[in-house]
Amino acid sequence: ARQIRRKLGQGGDLKGNEWLIEHLVTGYEGAWYTNNPGGEEDAAIFDNVTSRFLNYYISGQKYLYDQIGLNGLYYDGFNGERKVQKRIRKMSESPSIDSTVRFDIHGRPFEYTELLPFIDSMWTAEGIDFTRNAAYWLISISALPFGSFGEMLGGD
């Protein structure tokens, strides 16, 4: 666990669940967290997007594409650099793969503008103010100026 912590290279105040607290102790930052049915916890940690850990992440995706026929990705937020997303997109566009990449932007399209050339569509859900003006709809919801298209999730 300590080796993993060094590779992730993070530190912060969010601690996540008991397993993270016990096994990683320090040097990580807890991220998204939820309780699943049956009392199981699902906790994520932020990773250092410039670490070697991303090589493992990309290799894992390649394995899923090659071995089980994965044909797309869904990012519920993504903090990877442009060069990382470029590598992922190149890997997923091999001739034997018909891949689709969807990205949930959580109402912050400008935060991810540099990644948009590598996705097929943006999904908007949390953080969207549907009462705003037409310019907001064009930029933050439709994503058309970015060469992508946006889809709304949920029954808002």
Q: Which of 78, 149, 133, 148 is nearest to 111 (CA)?
A: 78
pLDDT tens digits for 96-142?
556 677 776 666 666 777 777 777 777 776 667 778 888 877 777 77
Higher pLDDT, 115 or 152: 115
CA atoms within 13 A on the CB side of 4: 12
- In single-letter form, the type of residue at position 26 comes to T
- Residue 44's φ and ψ, nearest 5 degrees, are -115, 160
pLDDT tens digits for 45-93?
776 666 777 888 888 888 888 888 888 887 776 767 788 888 888 877 7
Instruction: Name the pTM for this structure.
Output: 0.59
Q: Are 141 and 124 in contact (CB under 8 A)?
A: yes
| Predicted pLDDT of residue 11 | 43
Q: Is 130 exposed, middle or buried (0-12, 13-18, 19+ CB in 10 A)?
A: exposed
Residue 6 predicted with pLDDT over 50: no
Q: How far is CA 48 from CA 6, 69, 108, 124, in A?
A: 10, 28, 21, 25
| Predicted pLDDT of residue 24 | 75
Number of Cβ atoms within 10 Å of the Cβ of 33 = 15
